[in-house]
Structure 1
Amino acid sequence: MVRANGVAMHVQQLAPDDPPADQLAGDASRTGPPTAVLIHGIATDNLASWYLSLAYPLASAGFRVVMYDLRGHGRSDRPPTGYRVDDLVDDLAALLDELGIAGPVHLLGNSLGGTIAFGYAVRHPGRVASIVAVEAAPATTRWLTRIRRQLAAALGPTRPAAAPGGPGARYLTALRNLVATTSAGQDLPASTPLAAADLHAIDCPVLGVFGSESAAADLAPSLVHLLPQARVVVIQGHRHAVLVTGRDQVRDQVLPWLLDQLGSGPGPTPGGSPAGASADPAGMAVPRR
């Protein structure tokens, strides 16, 4: 447990395996292993989704891996207020300071975690080496409107039925509990939106990963529009939980891309797409059939 920004936060770390000698050759200034910070999503999510998917592959590839439970989630404190995106960015910044991590770090965010990663990169551009956003987008006005509608639909009297005991039912129960015990339901939609000028501060490489059957897949084109340096991969046959349900496919896209940012690994050729993907005319990467 680490106290950061006034919140006791549950943190787990994995030490890196020894990276190959040539892995860090592209960064002569690096004096230690690269750090990957993994940020989870809302409601039922916690650091376990990363622990059971990409955490060990990242450590095996030579990354120091840091995972934590967001405020109000997992084993971290659940304060009654402080759930705007800026608050969650403040939590991340304070946590990295408490851990003595000056950066630049590789941020990997799932759903809301990706939104937090973008917000952190806007406010601390020199401390971010790259961003992997799974089913996520920056907190633009469009994103905030979408969150407001999703919360209203999920919590309202006409919310869609979910199979008892299934993932949908567990998500709704956790979301209702979070909203009933904190100001998250009001805070998130009331977050300060990021404008185009804000997003220009994000000049690091960005990889977006979406499930083809996810309701969030329509965010992919706007991600490329907002961040021209972004590369987007769509994993066929998966929904919003693609990080877990498509764990192997996500790993096979993310690891080569991250290693390429370090100056090693197969990665995409200049102007090309990640291994196993091909680019469509809009500049998005889609799996080959």
Structure 2
Amino acid sequence: MTERLRTGGITTHAARLGAWHGDGRPLVVFVHGLLTDSLASYYFTLGPAFATAGMDVLMYDLRGHGRTDRPATGYRLEDFVDDLAALLDALGETRPAHVVGNSFGGTVATAFSAWHPARVATVTMIEAEPPVAVWTGHMAEGLADAKTRLARAEAFGWISANYGAHTARLSTVAHRIFESTTLAEDVPASRVIADDLGALTRPLLALFGDESGLAEQVPDLAAKVARCRTVVLPDQGHSVLVERPQETRDLILAWVHEHTLAEAAP
């Protein structure tokens, strides 16, 4: 079921899978990545499998993406977190959710767990960073570089020739977002959590590819987050969700089942 719901100042496009009877079934919320992504990525990877496993699944397009509204401004991390809280409110949903985020969506998921811990059962980040100060620097550099490159007239022909027409179309969408919004400037100015990661009190599963560089966080996460499990997939870059969907599905399903059973135990 797809629907458009008022979430604060915007209308959000969402899709739900599962029974949605509210009868003790786990709720799993999937948050997608930035610029070239949408809720559709979960239709073809994780969403249906979680619904088949007896869970209620919520997927949605982030502000500025897919069929959700694209305001000109308002793209700090806290805006994305507020949107998720407002979406759950609009659905009348009070169950603590298992929030799964890919790339930037993983940062949204961890921020949501830090600022709304009572609404979170577990959090999973796939190839992502928690929202600490160093993350803002990484985002500022990456977004500025992408915006500059996509502004060049020859960019889309080069992308099509080297990565295919589909990637070129996604890059065109990213360029439109850059040109019509303040996203590139807003994200690096986002609210952050303390470097000690003490705000991350909910169980955290972190999945990385060993070739992306983000796996370098593993020792820090293990040392600072009390209930944290990390998995590093060998011979894998940043595109874990797309290139290793079955392993990703199995790892997160086991994680959600484990914590659902733990919560149900007396």
Matching residue of 1:267: none
Query: What is the 5 A alignment of 1:90-169?
Result: 90-156=82-148, 162=159, 163=162, 165=164, 169=168
Matching residue of 2:176: 177
SS in 1 for 2:261: coil
Matching residue of 1:34: 26
Deviation at 1:242, TM superposition (A): 1.1
C-alpha separation between the residues in 1 aligned to 2:207 and 2:79? 25
Q: Sequence identity, in percent?
A: 40
More helix by share: 2
Deviation at 1:219, TM superposition (A): 3.5
**Alpha-carbon displacement from aligned partner over 1:201-225 (angstroms, at most 9, x marks no partner):** 3322111111222243333343334
Matching residue of 2:6: 3
What RMSD over aligned residues (CA atoms) do the two structures have, in Å?
2.4
Deviation at 1:31, TM superposition (A): 4.5
Query: What is the 5 A alignment of 1:1-289?
Result: 1-16=4-19, 31-156=23-148, 162=159, 163=162, 165=164, 169-196=168-195, 199-263=197-261
* Structure 1: stretches of 5+ with no match in the other structure: 19-29, 265-289
Q: For residues 17 and 188 of structure 1, do their structure 2 counterparts lie closer, same or farther at Cα, with a shift above 3 Å needed?
A: closer
Question: Given residue 244 of structure 1, which amino acid in structure 2 is its aligned partner?
Answer: V
Q: For residues 118 and 164 of structure 1, do their structure 2 counterparts lie closer, same or farther at Cα, with a shift above 3 Å needed?
A: closer
Query: Under a length normalisation based on structure 2, what TM-score does the superposition of the two structures give?
Result: 0.87
SS in 1 for 2:232: strand
Q: For residues 218 and 155 of structure 1, do their structure 2 counterparts lie closer, same or farther at Cα, with a shift above 3 Å needed?
A: farther
Deviation at 1:86, TM superposition (A): 0.3
C-alpha contact (below 8 Å) 1:16/1:61 kept by paired residues:
no
Query: Under a length normalisation based on structure 1, what TM-score does the superposition of the two structures give?
Result: 0.80
C-alpha contact (below 8 Å) 2:144/2:184 kept by paired residues:
no
SS in 1 for 2:189: coil
Query: How many residues matched?
Result: 252
C-alpha separation between the residues in 1 aligned to 2:100 and 2:194? 22
Deviation at 1:261, TM superposition (A): 0.8
C-alpha separation between the residues in 1 aligned to 2:36 and 2:213? 18
Deviation at 1:164, TM superposition (A): 5.1
Deviation at 1:263, TM superposition (A): 1.7
SS in 2 for 1:10: strand
C-alpha contact (below 8 Å) 2:193/2:199 kept by paired residues:
no
Question: Given residue 252 of structure 1, which amino acid in structure 2 is its aligned partner?
Answer: D
Q: For residues 226 and 73 of structure 1, do their structure 2 counterparts lie closer, same or farther at Cα, with a shift above 3 Å needed?
A: farther
C-alpha contact (below 8 Å) 1:110/1:136 kept by paired residues:
yes
C-alpha contact (below 8 Å) 2:133/2:195 kept by paired residues:
no
Deviation at 1:185, TM superposition (A): 0.5
C-alpha separation between the residues in 2 aligned to 1:173 and 1:241? 19
**Alpha-carbon displacement from aligned partner over 1:222-269 (angstroms, at most 9, x marks no partner):** 3334424211111222222211111011112111121111127xxxxx
Question: Given residue 81 of structure 1, which amino acid in structure 2 is its aligned partner?
Answer: T
SS in 2 for 1:188: helix
Deviation at 1:179, TM superposition (A): 1.3
* Structure 2: stretches of 5+ with no match in the other structure: none
